[in-house]
Amino acid sequence: MTTIQPNLQKEPIRYRLKAFFMKPANLILLFFLAALAVLSLFPMVTMLKNMFTVHAGTERKLLRLSVGSWTLNHFELLFQDREWSRANFFTPLLNSLIVASGSGLLGILIGGTVAWFITRSDLKCKKFISAVFVFPYMMPAWTLALFWTNMFQNSKVGGGVVGMVESLFGVCMPEWFVYGLFPMIVVIGLHYSPFAYLLIGGILKNMDATLEESATILKARRFTIIRRITIPIVMPAVLSTFLLIFSSGFASYTVPVFLGSATRTFTLSTKMRALIQAGYEGQGYIIAFISILLGTLILGVNQYFTGKRKSFTTVTGKSGQVSLVKLRGGNWPISILLIVLTMFFAIMPLFSFALESVIKQPGNYAASNMTLDFWIGTEASAYETGMPDGILMNGMMWMGLFRQVGLAIAVSLIVGTCGMLIGYACVRRRGTWLAQAVENLAFFPYLMPAMAFGTIYLAVATGASFKWMYGTFFLLGLVASVKFLPFASRSGVNSMMQIAPEIEEAATIFGVPWVTRMARILFPIQKSAIISGYLLPVINVMREVALFTLLVPYPRYLLTTMLFSFNETGYSQYGSAVTLLIILIIIAINALVNKLTGASFDKGIGG
Binding interface with another protein (CB under 8 A): 56-58, 60-62, 64, 81, 83-84, 86-88, 91, 155, 158-162, 179, 257-258, 261-262, 264, 266, 273-274, 276-279, 360-364, 369, 384-386, 388, 458, 461-462, 467-468, 470-472, 550, 553-556, 565, 568-572
**Which residues are CB-contacts of 478 (< 8 A; sequence separation ≥ 6)?**
39, 457, 469
Q: Is the dihedral of CA 584, 585, 590, 591 positive or negative?
A: positive
Q: Report the 10 Å Cβ neighbour count for 293.
A: 11
CA distances from 158 to 170, 250, 254, 364, 568 (A): 17, 25, 18, 18, 16
CA distance 560 to 549: 9
Cβ proximity of 375 and 391 under 8 Å: yes
Residue (20 or 468) nearer to another protein, CB: 468
Q: How far is the CB of 556 from another protein (least distance, A)?
A: 6
Q: How far is the CB of 12 from another protein (least distance, A)?
A: 39
Residue (122 or 175) nearer to another protein, CB: 175
End-to-end CA distance of the chain: 56
Residue (82 or 219) nearer to another protein, CB: 82
Q: How far is the CB of 138 from another protein (least distance, A)?
A: 25
Q: How far is the CB of 558 from another protein (least distance, A)?
A: 13
Q: How far is the CB of 595 from another protein (least distance, A)?
A: 38
Residue (60 or 124) nearer to another protein, CB: 60
CA distance 552 to 445: 20
Residue (179 or 246) nearer to another protein, CB: 179
Q: How far is the CB of 362 from another protein (least distance, A)?
A: 5
DSSP lists the bridge partners of residue 233 as none
CA distance 344 to 62: 51
Q: How far is the CB of 356 from another protein (least distance, A)?
A: 12
Residue (6 or 386) nearer to another protein, CB: 386
For residue 359, the SS3 value is: strand
CA distance 540 to 491: 15
**Which residues are CB-contacts of 308 (< 8 A; sequence separation ≥ 6)?**
none
Cβ proximity of 325 and 226 under 8 Å: no
**Which residues are CB-contacts of 290 (< 8 A; sequence separation ≥ 6)?**
93, 268
Q: How far is the CB of 181 from another protein (least distance, A)?
A: 15
Residue (242 or 266) nearer to another protein, CB: 266
Biggest CA-to-CA distance, the chain = 96
Cβ proximity of 247 and 104 under 8 Å: no
Q: How far is the CB of 392 from another protein (least distance, A)?
A: 19
Q: How far is the CB of 571 from another protein (least distance, A)?
A: 7
**How many residues does the structure list for the chain?**
607
Half-sphere exposure for 330 (CA within 13 Å, toward CB):
8
Q: How far is the CB of 462 from another protein (least distance, A)?
A: 4
Task: Tell me the residue type at 566.
Answer: F
Of the candidates 184, 584, 149, the one whose C-alpha atom is nearest the C-alpha of residue 362 is: 149
| Helices 395-428 and 433-447, axial angle in degrees (round to 10) | 150
CA distances from 393 to 217, 387, 587, 605 (A): 66, 10, 23, 37
Residue (7 or 277) nearer to another protein, CB: 277
Residue (279 or 406) nearer to another protein, CB: 279
Residue (191 or 273) nearer to another protein, CB: 273
DSSP lists the bridge partners of residue 53 as 70
Residue (60 or 430) nearer to another protein, CB: 60
